[in-house]
Amino acid sequence: MSAATLRAAGGALDLADLPRFDGFTLHVRRGLGERPGERRFPGRRQASGVEIEAYSPYTPGDDLRYLDWSAMARLDQLLVRRFTAEREVRFHLLLDASASMDAPPADGKRAAAQALMVVLAYVGLAANDAVQVALLRGDAAVATSPVYRHRRGTLALAEMLAAADAAGSLRLDAACEDYARRRHEAGAALLVSDFMTDPAEVERAILALQARRFEVHLLHVIGASEIDPTGHFTRGLLVDVETGAAQPLTLTAAVAARYRTVLEAHLEALREVAARTRCTYARWTAGADLAAFVTVDLAHTGLVRRR
């Protein structure tokens, strides 16, 4: 798979098609960075800027350039203009790179997740935000990109993702804690995974990121055969690609019904974790319309907005 075309089940993402997302931006509620930027954060005042947000009494050390002389003439009081904070937002795109992302192979979850990451990176970079990508495996980030701040960084990120494989296991909570601890600047963490793990572990991962002031968004990539295995499997030996555990199985109607019950309980538990930790949560079936997921589904969560 080349960086120019990231193939996912049911279609492909051609980098030449990315300008269709030029009218969109990634939205954050928090994620205030340290570097000056174009994002305005009402309620977070700074000493200089473009948009006046409030006035405060002058105290020794305040910049005299921001004294409001007209207010002093009217009120006989020294007031200093305070401005809406204008900062850069750094988006941390965290990709589950464990073996489960390649299982079952026909679902194309890994390629779909990589294509989603490229689109999100492009949307962020096109809006002059900062973007960094990390691959999570084991209990750490096994690869981390530089921080990109220009649209041309999309190709480098696409090349990194196209070369990434899926192998081994993932301790999501430990990996997220390790990543957050190593970052000097927080921001918004967009966690892309199949979330084939205990929801309690997902919650610990969220809390580890939030403890380091990250705003967290969960993007769930699920395979079509994981939603309905009846058209893909009837009888055989199921093998856990991460642990090697094997289980013979015949997919009878009763077993299929039980599977649907367990799956729905798992999905509901993920939704509850997101609600409890005040994260956004969106689920996308690999192979479904990627543009619709980004511009419609993620818009409903508030993560994506029109400029």
Q: How many helices (H) and strands (E) does the chain have?
A: 9, 15
Please give the pLDDT value at position 242: 62
Please give the pLDDT value at position 1: 44
Taking 50 as the threshold, does the pLDDT of residue 43 lie above it? Answer: no
In tens, the pLDDT along 220-246 reads: 999 999 998 887 666 655 665 666 666
Q: How far apart are CA 10 and CA 111, in angstroms?
A: 11
List Cβ neighbours of 94 (8 Å cut-off, separation of 6 or more). 133, 134, 136, 141, 176, 179, 189, 190, 191, 192
User: Global pTM?
Assistant: 0.80
The total of other beta-carbon atoms located within 10 Å of residue 39's CB is: 19
Domain covering 5-32+88-306, topology? Rossmann fold (3.40.50)
Helix residue spans in 88-195 (DSSP H): 109-126, 153-163, 172-182
Collapse the DSSP code of 26 into the 3-class scheme (helix H, G, I; strand E, B; otherwise coil) and give the result. Answer: strand
List Cβ neighbours of 206 (8 Å cut-off, separation of 6 or more). 176, 216, 218, 273, 277, 279
In tens, the pLDDT along 101-144 reads: 998 888 999 999 999 999 999 999 998 889 999 999 999 999 99
Cross-strand bridge partners of residue 40: 86
Helix (H) or strand (E) holding 283: strand 280-285
Q: Residue ranges per domain, the chain? A: 5-32+88-306, 36-87
In tens, the pLDDT along 88-101 reads: 788 999 999 999 99
In tens, the pLDDT along 52-85 reads: 555 567 677 666 566 666 665 566 666 666 655 4
User: Residue 151: is it exposed, middle or buried by C-beta count within 10 angstroms (0-12/13-18/19+)?
Assistant: middle
Q: How many residues does the chain have?
A: 307
Q: How far apart are CA 238 and CA 246, in angstroms?
A: 5
Taking 90 as the threshold, does the pLDDT of residue 40 lie above it? Answer: no
Residue 27 phi/psi, 5-degree rounding, is -110, 140
Taking 70 as the threshold, does the pLDDT of residue 210 lie above it? Answer: yes
